Amino acid sequence: MKKIAILIFMTIAIFSCKSVRKPTELKKLGSRGWHTTVAPVAEFDPRHKSVEIWTPKQVKNPPVVIYAHGGAGFREDDRARIDMLQRNGFATISFDSYEMNGLDWNFVTRRVTNNGKQNLIWGVFEGALKYALKENKRWDVNNIFLYGASNGGRTVLYAGNELPIKNIRGIISEAPAATGYALGDLNIPTIVLYGAKDNWAGKSETDYVWTRTYPNSPISVEDWLKSQQEKSHHIKFIFYENAGHLLFEGPLEKVTVKRGDKIAFTAYQGASDEALKRYENDVITFINDNIEKR
């Protein structure tokens, strides 16, 4: 009996060790405290505690929306977007890629570059999409939509070009980050949503996210979008008055963001109730208009 008990204990111990993932390795960049990711990053795990896979009970074969969170991980404002989708009858997949990579969101949001953040999101997001494609018994996998905010917003724009999947019917990108993954040709119906006062991490009141360029991202979101429109691709901006970054964070206000003991920037976040109502109408209308009927 003792031998059997020992064997059982060893089996459980081995299984437990395999199921616990070490934190993703980070590499320091320069002397200013920034880091990026080192491959491999975590892949999608449908059993992970941060994952929510949701199907509406009253809707047969609903379209599914795969959601990519922003640079601070899956937070309250991300939850609000998921709730919006669910009350409108769409199946959803959401996750926290930082938790899945064994990393603390406080460190990632303050010390990891946008490219590094997007690597963490992408590693999980791609797997979530592949998971959705297999769920054809409970979802309409011919109608898949990609939705992301901030760093997640840039990730879904990248995904639309990187993944040649015909089942992707539309992309919703809220306030895509000004830097990070390269944005290529995107011939999928797409809306890019910004608060009209979104100067997050900017140098002035009018240093808007969509107008910025950087050495590693020399084309602004605005110029990239115009280049897609010139090719007759179905993509457009939608701006919301009385709104900044993180529209679902609360009422519109100017906030001071610190990095360590120093003030990094001041910027607008949140949105008015009127802006949020219009936002919801735009997102839900966009999805319904692009569902392929069979």
Task: Count CA atoms closer than 13 A to 123's CA, side-chain side.
Answer: 20
Q: pLDDT tens digit string along 176-200? A: 999 999 999 999 999 999 999 999 9
User: What pLDDT is stored for residue 244 in this prediction?
Assistant: 98
Strand partners, 212: none
Torsion angle, alpha carbons of 280, 273, 200, 229, to 10: 40
Strand partners, 247: none
Residue 51: what are its φ and ψ, rounded to 5°?
A: -85, 135
Report in angstroms the alpha-carbon separations of 117 from 132, 239, 266, 275: 23, 25, 22, 28
Residue range 24-243+275-290 in CATH 3.40.50.1820: yes
The DSSP result for 93-156, as a single string, is EE--HHHHTT--HHHHHHHB-HHHHHHHHHHHHHHHHHHHHT-TTTS-TTSEEEEEETHHHHHH
Report the phi/psi class of residue 46: left, alpha or beta, with left for phi > 0 and alpha for psi in -120 to 50.
alpha
CA distance 174 to 176: 6
8 Å CB contact between 159 and 181:
no
Which residue positions in the chain have pLDDT lower than 50?
1-19
pTM of the predicted structure, to 2 decimals: 0.91
pLDDT given at position 258 = 79
Pair 183, 219: CB distance under 8 Å:
yes
Report which of 245, 115, 273, 237 is spatially closest to residue 180, judged by C-alpha positions. 115
Give the C-alpha separation, 111 to 99, whole Å.
Answer: 16
3-state helix, strand, coil in the chain (%, to 5): 35, 25, 40
Structure tokens that stand for 150 in this block: 């901030």
Q: pLDDT tens for residues 238-287?
A: 999 999 999 999 999 999 987 766 778 999 999 999 999 999 999 999 99
Under 8 Å between Cβ of 55 and 138: yes
Listed residue (116, 121, 149, 111) closest to 50, CA to CA: 121
Joined tokens for residue 233? 């691709």
